[in-house]
Structure 1
């Protein structure tokens, strides 16, 4: 199926709105609405920070509890345990290990305009691509993804991009 994300609204095709993301542009808390349902997407510190590179996790909660979780990971070959810490920068984060419906996925940032989510077999389950000058994001996925889940994965993609931004004080 093909979707369009533009201005925080998820469209099936280019005209039928099916979900909406609300919240701050660069924050750590978002609300996803699909019809009368509402979900919360947040970033929070991990209880055991050594579990991942940034010490944070992304998660989506509904009324029934936690529904989706992603833990960011260093770019392969840049793990400090193996490559050491470079003197001039911190290692880059380019992927997250995602858990949804008791299945594991890998969310990978190919570039800041292209994200792929792969299942355990390495098959692409969801693809997010920026549309360039046309604006918005094209999202392709299978029918197993409901609009609220697509919105959450989109927010996780944007969080992943923020992991590499330089903190300015």
Structure 2
């Protein structure tokens, strides 16, 4: 299925054009906890980052999608390279998550393209930034509801933010 995410809204693509609005983000966009709404404004999911003490890495962050009853729908954590050192500018480019007892990996190929693969290396979703007109094109298997797709998009943005100060040359920017 093909979609377009633009200005915090997820649209179905029909005849190569955006048509039906399927989901949207509640304003304001800046808090860490994001609210995903149905087109009629009902809360469907929350996307958030929780800090877990005592993980493999100090203060490990867990990415969580939960429903309006605060039940976890999907959770994931960053996958750190074995030789991670922010001093030499290595990026964190992967989130390992579980949904319906099945494992997936969200990969950041670059800040303009993300890929979600299942355990068998099947590309279940792909998000690509639109150069012309802005927004993000999304191709995804129907197993991901529009609300989960918005949550995964938010995870992509969280992952991009993890690397905000790390450049391709390995320098830190502040």
TM category (shorter chain) comes to: 0.7 to 0.9
Shift of 1:79: 1.8
Indicate the SS of the match to 2:26.
strand
2:55 pairs with one of 41, 49, 63? 49
Residue in 1 that maps onto 2:168? none
Alignment check: 8 A CA contact 1:19 1:33 kept: yes
* CA distance in structure 1 between the partners assigned to 2:88 and 2:77 by the alignment: 21
Q: How does 1:6-155 map to 2 (within 5 A)?
A: 6-13=6-13, 14-34=18-38, 35=40, 36-50=42-56, 55-64=60-69, 65-74=71-80, 78-80=81-83, 85=85, 88-155=87-154
Q: Which moved more, 1:37-46 or 1:130-139?
A: 37-46
* TM-score normalised according to structure 2 size: 0.83
* CA distance in structure 2 between the partners assigned to 1:58 and 1:102 by the alignment: 16
* CA distance in structure 2 between the partners assigned to 1:58 and 1:133 by the alignment: 30
* CA distance in structure 1 between the partners assigned to 2:130 and 2:6 by the alignment: 10
* TM-score normalised according to structure 1 size: 0.86
Indicate the SS of the match to 1:109.
strand
Indicate the SS of the match to 2:105.
strand
Structure 1, gaps ≥5 residues long: none
Indicate the SS of the match to 1:60.
strand
Shift of 1:73: 1.3
| Superposed CA RMSD | 2.2
* CA distance in structure 1 between the partners assigned to 2:116 and 2:126 by the alignment: 6
Q: Which moved more, 1:30-39 or 1:62-71?
A: 30-39
* CA distance in structure 2 between the partners assigned to 1:91 and 1:54 by the alignment: 18
Structure 2, gaps ≥5 residues long: 166-171
Indicate the SS of the match to 1:133.
coil
* CA distance in structure 1 between the partners assigned to 2:23 and 2:123 by the alignment: 22
Alignment check: 8 A CA contact 2:52 2:59 kept: no
Q: How many residues align?
A: 161
**For residues 112 and 122 of structure 1, do their structure 2 counterparts lie closer, same or farther at Cα, with a shift above 3 Å needed?**
same
* CA distance in structure 2 between the partners assigned to 1:23 and 1:54 by the alignment: 28
